[in-house]
Amino acid sequence: MMEAGVQEKIISVINEKFEDEIIESGMIRDFFTIVLKKEKIADIIHHLYHHTETRFQFLTTLCGIHYPDQNQIAVMYQLHNLHTNQRVRLKVYLSAVRPEVNTLTTVFAGANWMERETYDFFGVRFIGHPNLKRILNVEDMIIHPLRKEYPLEDQTREDKSDLMFGR
């Protein structure tokens, strides 16, 4: 559980350089989460990395989430300050039609494959990424399979009835 003082500190560190970038913030269960505007996300993470009061210098993970009803794709970043053991989750919401966001590879070398994976599965274009290619799927695949419009099984099949227990 993150104390209120620490949360305010992180918010103020972001606000001192990037005003009006925070859309909302709060605790989701035990995890402090900040929803940001998408334009300056890489700069904000860069700022949080170098600022002496935050020093979020470890990228735990990043991944995409598709919300077909809002026609949005969220990209979630989890940062970790290993000195004080504070974790923070940052989220940006992108349009699902043409999802684009700046790359984080300039700050974290480890973001490279994580972003490629997100591109592969959600089609999020990371602007400035050195090698934005598919990573786990075959290169000539034309869809981004983790999007919700692609069902796990072919829905036109008639030999398997999933009437009772399908989602």
Partner 1 sequence: MIERQDHKAPVVQDEKQISYLNLGPTHPATHGIFQNVLKMDGEVIVESTPTIGYIHRAFEKLAERRPFGQITPITDRLNYCSAPINNIGWHMTVEKLLGVEIPKRVQYLRVIIMELARITDHIICNAVIGVDTGALTGFVYLFQQRELVYEIYEEICGTRLTTNIGRIGGFERDFSPKAWDKINRFLRELPEVLKEFEGLLNRNRIFMDRTIGAGGITAEKALNYSFTGPNLRAAGIDYDVRVMNPYSSYEDFDFVIPVGKNGDVYDRFMVRQEEMWQSLNIIKQAMDKLPEGPFHADVPEFYLPPKEEVYNNMEALIYHFKIVMGETEIPKGEVYHCVEGANGELGFYLISDGGRTPYRLHFRRPCFIFYQAYPEIVKGSMLSDAILTMSSMNVIAGELDA
Binding site for partner 1 (CB under 8 A): 28-29, 31, 57-61, 63, 65-66, 76, 78, 82, 85, 89, 108-110, 112-114, 117, 121, 135-138, 145-146, 152, 165, 167
Closest distance to partner 1 from the beta carbon of 53 (Å): 19
Closest distance to partner 1 from the beta carbon of 127 (Å): 20
Closest distance to partner 1 from the beta carbon of 15 (Å): 24
Please give the Cα distance from 42 to 104 (Å, whole number).
6
Nearest CB to partner 1, comparing residues 8 and 162: 162
Nearest CB to partner 1, comparing residues 51 and 110: 110
Nearest CB to partner 1, comparing residues 15 and 82: 82
Q: Which H helix or E strand runs over 65?
A: strand 58-67
Residues 6+ apart with CB under 8 A from 101: 38, 41, 42, 75, 92, 94, 124, 125, 126, 127
Gap between the terminal Cα atoms of the chain: 34
Nearest CB to partner 1, comparing residues 19 and 157: 157
Query: Do the beta carbons of residue 34 and residue 54 sit within 8 Å?
Result: no
